[in-house]
């Protein structure tokens, strides 16, 4: 009986891990056009609303990217351009983009 309980816990943990943070890097590649215009240019700076050095996000931890996008959606992060972009993203879009950029793109 104990063996079955342990196996059940392992399966449950694997299933819950797949349900959360299940970004698809290939799908993220198809969705990244709005990101690549700034984050895909080494050393790029934007001048709206002020001069701002755009951070490199390739290789960044996926959960950090998802959290940042959610903070832009809620207004906890204030950069207007990113707020406008994040508002149009679904949870799956964020996960897919995060998976793509976490792979180092």
Residue 46 backbone zone (phi > 0: left; psi -120 to 50: alpha; other: beta): beta
Dihedral sign for Cα 7, 10, 13, 19, please. Answer: negative
What's the confidence (pLDDT) of residue 72? 97
Per-residue pLDDT of the chain (105 residues; tens, 9 = 90+): 555 444 443 344 444 344 445 899 999 999 999 999 899 888 888 887 678 889 999 999 999 999 999 999 999 999 999 999 999 999 999 999 999 999 998
Q: For the beta carbon of residue 57, count every other beta carbon within 10 angstroms.
A: 20
What's the confidence (pLDDT) of residue 49? 65
Is residue 6 in some structural domain?
Answer: no
Is residue 74 in some structural domain?
Answer: yes
What's the confidence (pLDDT) of residue 2? 53
Q: What is the pTM of this model?
A: 0.75
Domain count, the chain: 1
Is residue 46 in some structural domain?
Answer: yes
Q: How far apart are CA 77 and CA 99, in angstroms?
A: 21
| Start-to-end CA span in the chain (Å) | 47
Is residue 93 in some structural domain?
Answer: yes
Residue 46's domain spans which residues? Answer: 23-102
Is residue 41 in some structural domain?
Answer: yes
List the CATH number of the domain containing 32: 1.10.760.10
Is residue 17 in some structural domain?
Answer: no
């Amino acid at each position: 009986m104990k063996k079955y309980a342990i196996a059940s816990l392992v399966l449950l943990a694997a299933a819950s891990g797949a349900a959360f943070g299940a970004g698809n890097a290939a799908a993220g590649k198809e969705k990244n056009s709005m990101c690549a215009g700034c984050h895909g240019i080494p050393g790029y700076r934007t001048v709206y609303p002020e001069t701002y050095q755009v951070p490199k996000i390739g290789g960044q931890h996926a959960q950090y990217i998802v959290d940042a996008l959610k903070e832009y959606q809620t207004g906890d992060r204030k950069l207007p351009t990113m707020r406008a972009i994040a508002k149009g993203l679904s949870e799956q879009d964020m996960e897919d983009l995060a998976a793509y950029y976490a792979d180092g793109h």
